[in-house]
Amino acid sequence: MTRTDTPFWKWLLLLIAGSFLFMLAYGFSGIPAALDETLHMPLWLQALLCVLASAGVLALYGCWWQWTEKQKARDIPMRRLAGDTAIGFGVGIFFFVLVTGCMALMGGYRIDSVKWDWNALISSLFTFLVVAVGEEVLFRGIVFRMIDDRWGTVVALIVSALIFGFVHISNNNATVWSSVAIAVEAGLLLGAAYKWSGTLWVPIGIHWSWNYFQGPVFGFAVSGNGTQSLIHPVIQGSDWLTGGSFGAEASIPAFVLGLSLAIVFLLLPRRTACTSR
């Protein structure tokens, strides 16, 4: 049964219930990082807990599919986990290398110093995995997929992107512009990558490396939140060029590149369908 066959009230109830369930799951999946701040766990234990938390959210998502769709989840096939995640991770790296390069060419970014802290780099890598899994399951697996299934891809892209962008409005140093920028450069890109690939693995990979390279590697704030980083940069110039205190996501280079990549994904032949359409 497709969602177009489902009464609207039931579809809406499932959308609200699914969104609420996975907001809670995302909140609980952040416990390992919160515990580490107070208990200072060994790195191996923090990494293990992050992986288990991510796996738990994905397992819950599989159960949700089974209960609501009466079939196994089609967008988290284990046979494509490694390959599709690697594709997404590579896209995310490409994105922020190019954004940072554009800023550097225009005088907005330069490296002041480099400080290797392997514990911090590895810790943040696993922390951002949890973020990527939790947010992609919620915004692409639930919100985008259900809207796409009922009203089509264009509506799903617009609505899910706007929701994704404006949930960041309460972040540190956020503005209406930063939320619009995230909606376009990230919300559209991640939705398009999901639709193109038919799996959550590609957008999870993009989201994961996007946050990781933006903050812990290149030294920008991540959606308004500062992080310990490998590169200690000097970021100067117009907020339109650098994103200001919110981070590179509020910059014109990120906006233009993210929109361009979203268009590329939408124009590419789809690998598999991620919805019943």
Question: pLDDT tens digits for 73-103?
Answer: 999 999 999 999 999 999 999 999 999 999 9
Residues whose CB falls within 8 Å of the CB of residue 49, separated by 6 or more in sequence, listed in order: 31, 32, 35, 41
Rounded distance, CA 57 to CA 90, Å?
Answer: 23
Residues whose CB falls within 8 Å of the CB of residue 125, separated by 6 or more in sequence, listed in order: 212, 216
Q: Torsions phi, psi of 145, nearest 5?
A: -60, -40
Query: Quick one: tokens of 45?
Result: 């234990």
Rounded distance, CA 53 to CA 128, Å?
Answer: 12
Residues whose CB falls within 8 Å of the CB of residue 106, separated by 6 or more in sequence, listed in order: 237, 241
In the block, which residue shows the tokens 């790195």?
43
Residue-range domain boundaries for the chain: 3-267
Rounded distance, CA 155 to CA 57, Å?
Answer: 26
Query: Quick one: tokens of 224?
Result: 């308004």
SS3 category, 170:
coil
What is the pLDDT confidence band of residue 4, given thresholds at 50, 70 and 90? low
Arithmetic mean of pLDDT over the chain: 93
Rounded distance, CA 267 to CA 98, Å?
Answer: 21
Q: How many CB atoms lie within 10 A of CB 154?
A: 10
Average pLDDT over residues 193-198: 96
In the block, which residue shows the tokens 């509020």?
250
In the block, which residue shows the tokens 């205190």?
245
Question: pLDDT tens digits for 148-186?
Answer: 999 999 999 999 999 999 999 999 999 999 999 999 999
- Eight-class DSSP state of 235: E
* pLDDT score recorded for residue 173: 94
Average pLDDT over residues 8-29: 94
* pLDDT score recorded for residue 21: 96
Cα separation values, 25 from 56, 60, 191, Å: 9, 8, 21
Average pLDDT over residues 28-53: 86
DSSP structure string for 249-276: GGSHHHHHHHHHHHHHHHHSPPSS-SS-
Rounded distance, CA 16 to CA 75, Å?
Answer: 20
pTM exceeds 0.85, yes or no: yes
Q: Which of 196, 186, 198 is nearest to 132 (CA)?
A: 186
CA–chain centroid gap for 115, Å, is 26
* pLDDT score recorded for residue 277: 37
Give buried/exposed letters for 3-34 (b at 16+ CB in 10 A, else e). beebeeeebeebbeebbebbeebbeebeebbe
* pLDDT score recorded for residue 275: 45
* pLDDT score recorded for residue 30: 84
Question: pLDDT tens digits for 213-270?
Answer: 999 999 999 999 888 999 999 999 999 999 999 999 999 999 999 999 999 999 998 8
